[in-house]
Amino acid sequence: MAPAPRSHAKRLRSHKIQKPNNKRQKTKPNKLPSVDNKALCQPSSTPATLSEFSLFPKLPLELRLMILELALCQPRVLRLWTIYRAYPVVLSDPDIIPPMFHVNYESRDRAKKIYETVTQAVWTHPTKSSYAVNPAADILCLAGRLDITCFKELVKDYPVMSTLKHLAFRDHVRPYDQAVGPDNGVELPRDCFPNLDQITIIKDIWRLEGDDHLPQSERNHISRWILCLRKIWREKHDRELPAKITIMDHKSSLTSAHTVFHELKPDFCYVKQLQEIASLYPKYC
């Protein structure tokens, strides 16, 4: 075998075999950006309120109709003021005509199927000749004298009023007070509103807790009124009163999502229930 060239042998001798280095090289960690602790403690800015949803017309028809129906079924309060032996007078509210009637063709067509129009003869607002009623959602709030003759004429002229599901009495109406008349107080819901799901008494609830004569008397009057209403309802309709009877504080709103409706259970003493409910409310100065 021929010897290797001189230059090649010299290169081999000069080559040093490097031993593997098992020691890991220390790498300097990357510096994180500095964080302002004061900025973290401060509350985040309030997000901007969405004032316009331009993609609504692009939604499928089924979704649009579902959204419109939910918007149309929001409860409103219809206030009736009655003059003794006179036709009921409707106090016009700012939203007496729902805004959904004026959005577009779809919303107006849907609103016509849900709402029913009632002619309005109001001396306080003569420019408004009609208003819309949604029997399934609207709340009829009575704010005047309970003259059953007036309401019978109203229901006769506008049968849709008798299909309302929720009837409310303002505190000063006091259907349970003998001064108003016990017959009108119980015959009114029995004869004029047979489809009720809820009857609400609006009152200063905290006043029912005291030990003086007036709160105890009012608790007794409310209790007797409920018992009498259930009795005459059973006699005429041959069935139990389907509507639940509730009481709410007068400082709350009938249509607010935070309003608490305290239901009065028929299986318990109404007087004790009213006193327990009143104990939950602080006394207003």
Residues 96-141 have pLDDT tens digits of 678 888 888 888 888 888 888 776 554 444 455 667 888 888 898 8
Average pLDDT over residues 262-273: 91
Mean pLDDT is highest, among 156-160, 176-180, 210-214, 274-278, for: 274-278
DSSP class per residue in 101-156: GGS-HHHHHHHHHH-EEEE---SS-TT--EEEE-TTT-EEEE-S---HHHHHHHHH
| Six-digit token string for 200 | 């609400």
pLDDT reported for residue 243:
92
Q: What is the largest CA-CA distance in the chain?
A: 138
Residue 249 pLDDT greater than 80, yes or no: yes
Q: pLDDT category, 179, cuts 50, 70, 90?
A: very low
- CA 201, 203, 206, 208 dihedral sign is negative
Q: Which of 116, 130, 136, 132 is nearest to 70 (CA)?
A: 136
Contact 229, 189 (CB under 8 A): yes
Q: Residue 174 phi/psi, 5° resolution?
A: 50, 70
Q: pLDDT category, 211, cuts 50, 70, 90?
A: low
pLDDT reported for residue 187:
81
Query: Residue type for 14, please?
Result: S
Q: Please compute, for residue 40, the number of CA atoms within 13 A of its CA located in the half-sphere on the CB side.
A: 4
Q: Which of 118, 154, 157 is nearest to 135 (CA)?
A: 118
Average pLDDT over residues 47-75: 82
Residue 182 pLDDT greater than 50, yes or no: no
- In the chain, what percentage of residues exceed pLDDT 70? 64
Q: Which of 56, 165, 168, 167 is nearest to 107 (CA)?
A: 56
Residue 79 pLDDT greater than 70, yes or no: yes
Q: pLDDT category, 197, cuts 50, 70, 90?
A: very high
Mean pLDDT is highest, among 115-129, 145-159, 199-213, 225-239, for: 225-239
Whole-number mean pLDDT of the chain? 75
Higher pLDDT, 132 or 34: 132
Measured distance CA(220)–CA(178) in Å, rounded: 12
Average pLDDT over residues 242-265: 90
Please give the model's pTM, rounded to 2 decimal places. Answer: 0.72
Higher pLDDT, 241 or 177: 241
Helix (H) or strand (E) holding 91: strand 89-91
pLDDT reported for residue 262:
94
What is the distance, to the nearest Å, from the Cα of residue 272 to the centroid of all Cα atoms in its chain?
Answer: 28
Residue 245 pLDDT greater than 90, yes or no: yes
Residue 178 pLDDT greater than 50, yes or no: no
pLDDT reported for residue 169:
85
Q: pLDDT category, 175, cuts 50, 70, 90?
A: low
Contact 247, 205 (CB under 8 A): yes
pLDDT reported for residue 265:
93
Higher pLDDT, 38 or 71: 71
Q: Residue 112 phi/psi, 5° resolution?
A: -65, -30
Residues in the chain: 285
Measured distance CA(219)–CA(279) in Å, rounded: 13
